[in-house]
Structure 1
Amino acid sequence: MFARAVPYEIVAIGASAGGVKALLTVLAALPAGFPVPVVIVQHLDPHHDTVLAELLDRRSRLRVKLAEDGEPAEPGTAYIAPPDRHLLIGPGGELRLSERDKVRFVRPSADLLFESVALVCGAAALVCVLTGTGFDGSAGARAVSSRGGTVIAEDPSTAEFKGMPQAVVNAVAVDLTLPLEGIAAALVALIEGTRSL
């Protein structure tokens, strides 16, 4: 076992183009008793309701739902940012939804989610950037890293769309760069303390 000075309290994931397939891969491989909450920003069409939470819930042993403003983030549950709303973590792990301006042309923004996680959880934050175009997630990953949290990137060379993971790799000293199929096992091992960085 590798005892961390600060155990992880949350996993935050950002994804864009190709993200639905990537999220299916990661969430389907996480155990039902996953001991921390998972919060997810997937860029979605802002003008339509989404069935993403239902789709992921059917394929995952975790409970997957759209995040609601003010609800507490519970272990064993994955929360998806609703279309056209930023998802943030507030004090005490409370979920916050925001209609603040778009960040780098997107709402929800992985940057804002990661920055809020860095602020609230510090070194107890574990964030992961999956496939996507653009740069969303890189500034937030820098915030997480600067507070002692852990940053994982999907390997840009194997990602369906390499823009987002490559931007994170370029922006920060990423702790782990992994192929998609290895990410869930790494998340479990890091949180259980059976893997060190």
Structure 2
Amino acid sequence: MSAPAAESTSIDPRRISGIVIGASAGGVDALSVLLPALQRQATVPVFVVLHLPRDRPSLLADIFASKCALPCREAQDKEPVVPGTIYFAPPDYHLLLDRGPGAWPHLALSADALVNFSRPAIDVLFESAADIYGECLLGIVLTGGNHDGAAGLKAIHEAQGQTIVQDPADAQLSFMPEAALATVTPSAVMSLAQIARLLSGL
């Protein structure tokens, strides 16, 4: 499925209170373009699911800590969300958002069954975040080789949140963006460079 690569003006950065990003194959390279674009003064929390080997520790927080202006952490169960922080789902656990006590959402980890052959799964994060942030959520689906993220992006759309799909022509593997585009009409279809420019303005 093809999609236009022109940058959309329909994304309203003023509405964004939380960002969820999902990626699979090629995701480390894609995230290396996007996450460093976030400026130190950004107050939006960012939650990332990247499909990982379930039997090995993740080094994502360490890898990106030296590249990003915002602090990077591996998500911990029942941890309150801190604004202006990038959270990575740990291997072999689904990452979810929960209302929890207090004013801020809390993180939750689950060892429930694989979703789309994955744990962590993008759909699980996106759907739980849509329940918490509603119209103030931005969901981004990047490169990958399966359809994880498509249903989650639809949930964000139905909650009146904003959605971006990486231009399949710009993706290392186009299957995941194409699956998302076959499921929902996003707010924007953008290249990595265009998404990075948007994030840098937050």
TM-score between the two structures when normalised by the length of structure 1 = 0.91
Pairwise CA distance, 1:98: 0.6
Match of 2:18 in 1: 10
Letter in 2 for 1:38: V
Q: Which runs of 5+ in 1 are unaligned?
A: 193-197
Match of 1:103 in 2: 115
Match of 1:131 in 2: 143
Find the aligned partners of 1:111 and 1:187 in 2 and give their Cα distance.
Answer: 22
* Contact 2:37 2:200 (8 Å CA) reproduced: no
Q: Deviations over 1:98-155 (max 9, x none)?
A: 1011001100011010000111111111110111110000000000001100110110
* Contact 2:143 2:176 (8 Å CA) reproduced: yes
Match of 2:54 in 1: 46
SS at match of 1:59: coil
Match of 2:94 in 1: 86
SS at match of 2:125: helix
Pairwise CA distance, 1:188: 4.4
SS at match of 1:177: strand
Pairwise CA distance, 1:184: 2.1
Q: Which runs of 5+ in 2 are unaligned?
A: 1-9
Find the aligned partners of 1:109 and 1:129 in 2 and give their Cα distance.
Answer: 12
Q: How many residues align?
A: 187
Find the aligned partners of 1:158 and 1:99 in 2 and give their Cα distance.
Answer: 33
Q: CA RMSD in A?
A: 1.4
Q: Deviations over 1:157-190 (max 9, x none)?
A: 110011111111111011111111111222344x
- Alignment counterpart, residue 158 of structure 2, candidates 146, 157, 178: 146
Find the aligned partners of 2:107 and 2:60 in 1 and give their Cα distance.
Answer: 18
Are 2:147 and 1:113 equivalent residues in the alignment?
no
Q: Which 4+ stretches in 1 moved above 2 angstroms?
A: none
Find the aligned partners of 1:110 and 1:82 in 2 and give their Cα distance.
Answer: 12
Match of 2:41 in 1: 33
* Contact 2:37 2:199 (8 Å CA) reproduced: no
TM-score between the two structures when normalised by the length of structure 2 = 0.89
